[in-house]
Amino acid sequence: MEGMARVPLNALQLEALTWVRDGAPNGVYEDYRPRIVARALHRHGAYPPAQGTPQPAPTSASTTRAPSKDPSPAPTEPKPKKPPRVGPTDAMMHALTAAADHQITIEYDQTRRYEQLVRTAERFEKIPEGMQVTVTSDYRARTAHVRLEPLPEWRTRLLAPIPVPGTLRDSSDVVTALQGRDDLDIRAREKKRALRLVQALVAEARRRGYQVKAVRAPVKNRWRYVERSEETSGHFKIKLGPDTYRLSVYQLTEQVEHVASKSELARAGRGYAVPKWDRLPTERLGLRIDTTGLSFWGQAWTDRDDRPLDDALAQILQELELRHDAATQRRVEEERQRLERERQWEAARDHAIQALTESHRAEILLDQAARWRNVAAIRGYVKALETHVLDAPESEARETGLAWAQWAREYADRIDPLQQPVRRPR
């Protein structure tokens, strides 16, 4: 340390330093004592010999060692640089780009993880311009795929902005109904702007021919809590054909540290808990679609640093139209599938009727053929019987035999299918 006198090195320490300088060759020492001395000296910097201090004579161990020709250390090769680490998001994008069809198959259980990777890739703009990454899964087959594909047309469509009025002079019936609701949890200073945003969306929706109505306000129970139901969800609803979508306007909050009051501190001294955080309203507003189902842009829009909620109104209305178009296509597809099932059922029914008809006719045909063979056998037997009876010596035996032969001949005629009208069975 600075300001402290250095102690001159002794013989063992000098010998150890010389041994280290020469590269610590093997075979000089048989124990680890010099290594311990050298490691201890390494922590204390250089030790120049004190002036006028005689140097100790080298020991046998030092005299047997040849002096080094080049006291400078041997040059060391630079360590190879490690390749930069590739994160999971970059690895996913590299795999998608390298795949021939820009598609990779993943484990079904990894679906949510890759959905998060896709959101990260979108956030840090790692997806090529004009492209998107989608994750699809099949629960029954337990398969999942990630695809890099062009953006759909609706993602690149230019939307005309929806103007927001500066005042509420000509308020719609929807805005008027919202003004009188006490469950609109928006601070007074932001409430007028919230109503102007609703007014802009209502006016544009009606201009496009959609029906817009205010949602009936929910009632409060005896404890003064609002009880919401499916019929009272949202603040207003927009109807596109048979599809109705409920929307809500709300105020964003932020979490701030709670500052305890004197009374709370006093209560805390008696063992009561004091909240650590408070939720306080901000100046930011949001619009949310409360109707669940297939979504395209999302479910909620809020004021952002790079885009106010005013500029998102056109996208919100487009979201409703996209959902309506998808629902219409789904109904058309369901109707097509219903008609296809009906056609297949009719075809199966016709096939079953045809199969039953063929089986019935075959059964009748086989019965006729069997009776025809029996008839031929009976008639042959009758001829032989008559010949045999006529040769009988007794007249009574002949009469009895001929009577039996006659009945047999008549029976054969009755069961002979060729004696009946020939027609195809029904």
| Whether the Cβ atoms of residue 112 and residue 144 lie closer than 8 Å to each other | no
Structural domain includes residue 372: yes
Q: Are 113 and 203 in the same domain?
A: no
Is 80 within the bounds of a domain? no
The verdict on 59 and 101 lying in the same domain is no
What DSSP element (H or E) covers 154?
A: helix 153-156
Same domain, 322 and 254: yes
d(CA 94, CA 100): 12
Shared-domain flag, residues 193 and 263: yes
The residue out of 99, 121, 151 marking a domain boundary is 151
Match 């009976």 to its residue by tokens.
378
CATH number at residue 92: 3.90.1150
277-289 and 211-214 strand pairing: unpaired
Does residue 182 sit in the same domain as residue 319? yes
What 3-state class would DSSP assign to 355?
helix
Looking at residues 304-314, what average pLDDT do you find?
Answer: 95
343 within some domain:
no
Contacts of 20 (CB under 8 A, 6+ apart): 38
Looking at the fold, whether 207 and 309 belong to one and the same domain comes out as yes
Q: Is the pLDDT of residue 2 over 50?
A: no
Residue 352 lies in a domain: no
Q: Are 218 and 254 members of one domain?
A: yes
> What number of other Cβ atoms are within 10 A of residue 398's Cβ?
16
Same-domain check for residues 56 and 120? no
What gap in Å lies between CA 335 and CA 333, rounded to an integer? 5
Find how far residue 107's CA is from the centre of its chain.
12
* pLDDT above 50 for 61: no
Residue 237 has pLDDT above 90, yes or no: yes
Residue pair 201/174 in contact by the 8 Å Cβ criterion: no
303: nearest Cα among 235, 247, 253: 253
Residues 322 and 177 in one domain: yes
Q: pLDDT tens across 377-425, in order?
A: 999 999 999 888 888 777 788 888 889 999 999 999 999 999 888 888 8
Alpha carbons 80 and 23: distance in angstroms, whole number:
24
Any domain includes 240: yes
pLDDT at position 311, please?
Answer: 96
More confident residue, 217 or 212: 212
Tell me what pLDDT residue 48 has. Answer: 54
Q: Which of 154, 155, 156, 136 is nearest to 146 (CA)?
A: 136
Q: Cα–Cα distance between 411 and 385 in angstroms, integer?
A: 15
In the predicted model, what is the mean pLDDT of residues 222-243? 83
Which whole number is the average pLDDT over 180-202? Answer: 91
How many helices (H) and strands (E) are present in the chain, helices listed first? Answer: 11, 8
Cα–Cα distance, 6 to 28 (Å, whole number)? 28
| Nearest by Cα to 288 from 426, 365, 411, 185 | 185
Decide which of 328, 348, 377 is a domain's last residue. Answer: 328
Task: Mark whether 187 and 297 lie in a shared domain.
Answer: yes
Determine the pLDDT at residue 21: 73
What 8-state DSSP symbol labels residue 418?
G
Question: Any idea of the CA torsion for 217, 220, 221, 227, to the nearest 10 degrees?
Answer: 50
Four-residue CA torsion sign, 382, 388, 391, 397: negative
Highest mean pLDDT among 28-37, 103-112, 229-238: 103-112
pLDDT digits (tens, 9 = 90+) for 90-128: 999 999 999 999 999 999 999 999 999 999 999 999 999
CA distance 119 to 127: 10
> Would you say residue 259 lies in a domain?
yes
- Looking at the structure, tell me whether residues 286 and 393 fall in a common domain: no
Own/partner long-range contacts of 34-39 (Cβ < 8 Å, ≥24 apart): 37/12, 37/13
Q: What is the mean pLDDT of residues 242-259?
A: 94
Q: Taking Cα atoms as reference points, which of 163, 154, 185, 343 lies closest to residue 249?
A: 185
Q: Average pLDDT of the chain?
A: 85
Compute the radius of gyration of the chain from its Cα atoms: 50
Rounded CA separation 426/418 (Å) = 18
Angle at 42 between CA 39 and CA 43, to 5 degrees: 105
* Burial track 309-335 (b if 16+ CB lie within 10 A, e otherwise): bbbbbbbbbebbbbbbeebeeeeeeee
Query: Which is nearest to 46 in space by CA: 20, 73, 68, 67?
Result: 20
Q: What's the rounded Cα separation, in Å, for the pair 113 and 127?
A: 17
End-to-end CA distance of the chain: 121
Residue 354 counted as domain residue: no
| Sequence-ordered list of residues with C-beta below 8 angstroms from that of 241, at least 6 positions apart, any chain | 324, 328
Report the percent of the chain where pLDDT is more than 70.
Answer: 83
In a domain, 82, yes or no: no
The structure tokens listed for 316 are 């919100």
Number of domains composing the chain: 4
What is the span of the domain harbouring residue 55? 11-63
pLDDT at 62 over 50: no
| Dist CA 383 CA 413 (whole Å) | 14
Please compute the mean of the pLDDT values over residues 330-337 and round it to a whole number.
Answer: 96
